């Protein structure tokens, strides 16, 4: 029974926890009523994402564990300290997380390119890689707002994290409803950059996966 349980656990794709954290962060917790409980759940899902980065860390990138630990620590510190009390800590916290997710996305893309087979894990990595681009853009937008609150035109004076996530993914997917728009030049430049990155990711990575699949078929 114990061996069977171990086999079942080992058969679960190693990136499932990371995907779960991303799904909770993007789709589930922003739907909750704004308030303390919602902020707690969002912080928890964000922590899950950071912790699950360890599932793709290889021996040569063990130093990333230290960055993850610092990012989680800073994230919970900012949860208890408001931006008005100490804005520097919040800016440093999101900057740390931004660096971690950029590195994680590059590692994920490298694994997709170097993979020898097309399986569930590869497809999962491709999906996570695309979602991580949206997470990176979300963190970057948070930093832009922290530095310049009027850089992006939201409907509310102090936007909720769900609004930032929505704007970021609408931009990355190039849907662009126009209900939230970049105002400052840096916000516009990053919107153009991530709109291009989102489309290039889809075309290049999907081409790699299809090419690998056709080669295996041959």
Q: Is residue 140 part of a domain?
A: yes
Predicted local confidence at residue 9, as pLDDT: 40
Name the phi and psi angles at 57, rounded to 5: -80, 125
Cα 213 to the center of its chain, rounded Å: 27
Q: Is residue 4 part of a domain?
A: no
Cα gap 179→120, rounded to integer Å:
36
Split into its structural domains, the chain has a count of: 1
**pTM of the prediction?**
0.86
Q: Is residue 1 part of a domain?
A: no
Q: Is residue 5 part of a domain?
A: no
Q: Which residues contact 74 (CB under 8 A, 6 or more apart)?
A: 89, 92, 93, 96
Q: Is residue 169 part of a domain?
A: yes
| Nearest to 83, CA basis, from 92, 70, 96 | 92
Cα gap 83→130, rounded to integer Å:
30
3-class SS of residue 115: coil
pLDDT in tens, 14-25: 677 788 888 888
pLDDT in tens, 126-171: 888 999 999 999 999 999 998 998 999 988 777 788 899 999 999 9
| Nearest to 97, CA basis, from 159, 143, 42, 150 | 143
Measure Cα distances from 55 to 1, 62, 104 in Å. 26, 11, 10
Predicted local confidence at residue 164, as pLDDT: 92
Any idea what the Cα angle at residue 107 is, between residues 134 and 162, rounded to 5°?
20
Buried b (16+ CB within 10 A) or exposed e, 171-183: bbbeeeeeebebe
Instruction: Reply yes or no on whether the pLDDT at 65 is more than 50.
Output: yes
Q: Read off the pLDDT band of 83 (50, 70, 90).
A: low
Task: Tell me what percent of the residues of the chain surpass a pLDDT of 70.
Answer: 84
Cα gap 154→159, rounded to integer Å:
7
Going by the DSSP 8-state scheme, the letter that residue 60 receives in this structure is G
| Nearest to 58, CA basis, from 22, 103, 89 | 103
- Domain hosting 124: range is 14-217
DSSP codes, 168-207: HHHHHTT---SSSEE-SHHHHHHHHHHHHHHHHHHHHHHH
Q: Is residue 9 part of a domain?
A: no
Predicted local confidence at residue 13, as pLDDT: 60
Instruction: Reply yes or no on whether the pLDDT at 182 is more than 70.
Output: yes
């Amino acid at each position: 029974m114990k061996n069977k349980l171990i086999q079942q656990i080992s058969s679960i794709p190693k990136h499932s926890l990371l995907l779960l954290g991303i799904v909770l962060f993007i789709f589930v917790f922003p739907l909750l009523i704004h308030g303390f409980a919602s902020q707690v759940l969002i912080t928890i899902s964000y922590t899950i994402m950071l912790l699950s980065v360890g599932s793709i860390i290889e021996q040569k990138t063990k130093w990333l564990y230290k960055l993850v630990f610092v990012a989680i620590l800073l994230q919970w510190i900012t949860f208890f300290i408001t931006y008005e009390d100490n804005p520097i800590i919040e800016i440093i916290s999101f900057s740390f997380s931004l660096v971690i997710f950029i590195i994680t996305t590059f590692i994920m893309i490298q694994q997709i390119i170097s993979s020898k087979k097309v399986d569930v894990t590869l497809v999962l990595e491709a999906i996570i890689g695309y979602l991580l681009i949206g997470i990176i853009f979300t963190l970057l937008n948070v930093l832009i707002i922290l530095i310049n609150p009027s850089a992006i035109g939201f409907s509310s004076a102090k936007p909720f994290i769900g609004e930032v996530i929505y704007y970021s993914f609408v931009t990355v997917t190039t849907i662009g409803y126009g209900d939230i728009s970049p105002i400052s030049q840096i916000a516009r430049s990053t919107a153009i950059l991530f709109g291009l990155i989102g489309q290039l990711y889809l075309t290049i990575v999907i081409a790699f996966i299809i090419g690998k699949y056709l080669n295996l078929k041959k």
